[in-house]
Amino acid sequence: MKKINVFFPLIVFLLLFILSSERSDHDFFLDLNMGVGDLLEIKFIRHGELYMRNKNSIIKKIDIELAYRDTEKMNGLKYRSFLEENRGMLFLLNNQEEYKKIDMKNMRIPLDIIYINQFDTVIFVNKDVSPMRDFEIVDFSSKIKYVLEINAGMSEKWGIKEGITKITWFLN
């Protein structure tokens, strides 16, 4: 019985040493400090496409992933290292207060956050929102029906205009 007590810690030490020697010490200790969320990489799931138009001309078509369940809305684009230029996430809101719960905690990429009213019109664009930071929540006089998250800078590049740009979206 004493032989097992002596050898067990030695075996554990050797296993840890072998596992850690295959990687740099920095990587080993970095992984010890990371949470599960830091190790996640969630893939984009294409649910449909969204068209943006100014007046009667289409300015952009993008692939969208929908966030309509509570967990999808809570996570949004969190735990993603990148988002292709022609993609975005469309949040389908059930009530006026839901858009206030969107945050940048655990975000890895900067975003443009676009608020869309019940008439499918863009009413506000929060541009270049930095990851992992708090941002100001705006109170709107009209009802927010959707929130669209896209890569930072795309709203400017595509010509999205508050009060002018409208959206139409379709499921696959």
Q: Is the whole-model pTM more than 0.85?
A: no
* Same-domain check for residues 65 and 121: yes
pLDDT along the chain (172 residues), means of 10: 60 60 46 53 93 96 96 90 96 89 86 96 94 77 93 97 97 92
Q: Of 151, 148, 171, give the one whose Cα is nearest residue 162.
A: 148
Query: How much is the pLDDT for 42?
Result: 85
Same domain, 46 and 10: no
Query: Burial level of 122, CB count in 10 A (0-12/13-18/19+)?
Result: buried
pLDDT at 26: 41
- 3-class DSSP assignment, residue 87: strand
Domain identity same for 98 and 20: no
Regarding whether 22 and 61 lie in a shared domain, the answer is: no
77 is in which domain, residue-wise?
A: 39-171
pLDDT at residue number 153: 97
